Structure 1
């Protein structure tokens, strides 16, 4: 009698159809899930997993194609030649990368008084020069050598309140060239300052003296070679991150 009243109480509480309220569905007072509810749960889990694994099905054909191409590009770039961890030191310089930006900063000290700061762009141009070949054709790019260009702004100061000597330089794959030299007047901003003559128009001896001035401070051909290697790596790093950002946007 006690068991019968207990079963009826459980039936009223769960409000199940008569077929599912038999004592066969009870084991020690616990109701077993029906086959129908088990199948429904399994179907839901399968559908959820299928959606997670192939959510692109809900995308338009154009979006799915973009995502496929982006994934292939990212996979190719990361497996074929993955970027290296950028160095933070080069000779006397510390290197400050700026992720997502088109420049880096190098800092150094020379002796006790001078602070050197170099702002360096990523590749901002190139030239083609002829290869040493008797069959050279100036209209045939394949017969020419590509020389990418990097711009440098070298600031040399002797204290926070002092004027700065600035060099505008071009860094080629194997050499460094000075383009301009001028004094940046601290606290005196002129609307149209005169930046001095073109470097190539200076007396040849003065050109050599200024080149030696920079070389003594580590701004030389060796630095130019390092910067080209560094920017090649940064260019690949930024490209991969850009592809990932575009992919993330399309996936939303």
Structure 2
């Protein structure tokens, strides 16, 4: 009897949680789906399906309650931020001067490195997450395009490669230039100053890491909700 009472109490608490205005607002406004209270299942589910649904509902409840995402921002300094729900790439567009167009494509987290932990962390190891950036700078239609491939860490942005491209007129095996890391330090320094003047710098890297952390939570919640809806049918 006590087990039955606890089960009923748990179901009632889940229903109250998912119908609460705060969590419902987080899920509906940020993720774009209606998070109504759990409806009665018209078809009896197998124990396996019921267990999956219970785990998914508990995880959605936890994520929405303790790590709720916020509405993504649409601008960062001179850049407009564009993204599509469910995609792993975020695009930033901006201008520099009268004739330069800047387009930045940033991945979601695609790698990490281990770093020593400090303080009370008993594990002794932390990780730094990594993003990849492609920065295209063009001047008018049909002209040359300067492209930078960059690594974005939480506190720094490093240039990996620099290409000079001619859109639509590339040869089969074009020469794309030397490895950026093999260039003389003075040349590398000037390229970094060139990007910094256009807002492609450590501050942008920090913004993108914060943005992607939020997007990662949004996409996780969206994925779990779609999975839950599929199993419920």
Give TM-score scaled by structure 2 length: 0.79
Q: Map residues 1-252 of structure 1 onto 2, 5 A cutoff.
A: 54-55=40-41, 58-131=44-117, 142-252=123-233
Q: Which runs of 5+ in 1 are unaligned?
A: 1-51, 134-140
Report if the CA contact (8 A) 2:142-2:166 is conserved: no
- 2: CA distance, partners of 1:142 / 1:198: 37
- 2: CA distance, partners of 1:74 / 1:194: 50
**1:22 maps to which residue?**
none
- 2: CA distance, partners of 1:234 / 1:165: 28
Report if the CA contact (8 A) 1:67-1:250 is conserved: yes
Cα drift, residue 161 of structure 1? 1.1
Larger proportion of helix: 1
Report if the CA contact (8 A) 2:117-2:123 is conserved: no
Count matched residues: 194
- 1: CA distance, partners of 2:69 / 2:56: 18
Report if the CA contact (8 A) 1:154-1:166 is conserved: yes
Give TM-score scaled by structure 1 length: 0.73
SS for the counterpart of 2:123 is helix
**1:43 maps to which residue?**
none
Cα drift, residue 192 of structure 1? 3.4
- 1:164-210 alpha-carbon deviations (Å, 9 max, x no partner): 00000000000000000011112213333333221111000000000
Q: Which runs of 5+ in 2 are unaligned?
A: 1-37
Alpha-carbon RMSD across the aligned residues, in angstroms, is: 1.8
Report if the CA contact (8 A) 1:56-1:64 is conserved: no
SS for the counterpart of 1:55 is coil
- 2: CA distance, partners of 1:72 / 1:249: 16
Stretches of 4+ aligned residues off by more than 6 angstroms: none
Report if the CA contact (8 A) 2:114-2:125 is conserved: yes
Cα drift, residue 154 of structure 1? 0.1
Report if the CA contact (8 A) 1:170-1:176 is conserved: yes
- 2: CA distance, partners of 1:239 / 1:53: 22
Report if the CA contact (8 A) 1:180-1:195 is conserved: no
